[in-house]
Amino acid sequence: MARLHLFDLDGTLLRGTTSPVEISRQLGLEAEARALDEAISAGLIGPPEYAARVHALWSGLTEAHVTAAFDGAPWLERIREVWAEIRRQGGYCAVVSLSPSFFVEKLLDWGAHAAHGSRFPAVPFTEPVDPTGVLSAAAKVEIADRLCAEFGVTRADCVAYGDSLSDRDLFGAVPVSVAVNADSHLSGLATHSYLGGDLWEAYELVRHDR
């Protein structure tokens, strides 16, 4: 039976950072983005407010900034190799993140079958963020269910990889999970735990689990 591997982005595929921080660095606004990351991690603001505030930070954002942020980000090693192996085994890999869709979707070029993020307007911005398109922890489970239907698998065939509070709901919904460089919000929830910089090593923990 095929398996669906569901990957978080910020703090998981990206080690020690988030895509909004990497994007904001290109604009000289890294400190402001880190403050927003701390606020949402602490539960002081929710995803819609977070999205609106990073959107406001990025009034001067261009596609060149986004590309530079993506290309220069501290990705885990061997992401593309893991996804190629999952494909070779007849499985599926998807990225589901609260981060902006225009960044998340770049991972389709690395071999992901699907990539879902919070819907932001096209860059450069000429309109606000629609809060109904901003994802939440619960939305990750809803997207996982839609992907299961699309790929002909069930939750029982899913593996989740994540690092923080936004992954708790998904970890509770699937039978196998890997906490990757995770914070305390996932303590005791994950099937496996990985600390390091190589996605292949994290994948090896679940490669033969059924």
Query: If you write DSSP's letter for every residue of 51-102 in order, what string do you get?
Result: HHHHHHHTTT--HHHHHHHHHHS-BPBTHHHHHHHHHHTT-EEEEEEEEEHH
Q: How far apart are CA 24 and CA 5, in angstroms?
A: 29
Residue 158 region by backbone torsions, left for phi larger than 0, else alpha for psi between -120 and 50, else beta: beta
pTM: 0.96
Q: Are 98 and 143 in contact (CB under 8 A)?
A: no
SS3 117: strand
Q: How far apart are CA 140 and CA 7, in angstroms?
A: 10
Q: Are 6 and 160 in contact (CB under 8 A)?
A: yes
Tokens for 34?
């880190």
Write out the chain's pLDDT in tens, 210 residues: 799 999 999 999 999 999 999 999 999 999 999 999 999 988 899 999 999 999 999 999 999 999 999 999 999 999 999 999 999 999 999 999 999 999 999 999 999 999 999 999 999 999 999 999 999 999 999 999 999 999 999 999 999 999 988 999 999 999 999 999 998 878 789 999 999 999 999 999 998 776
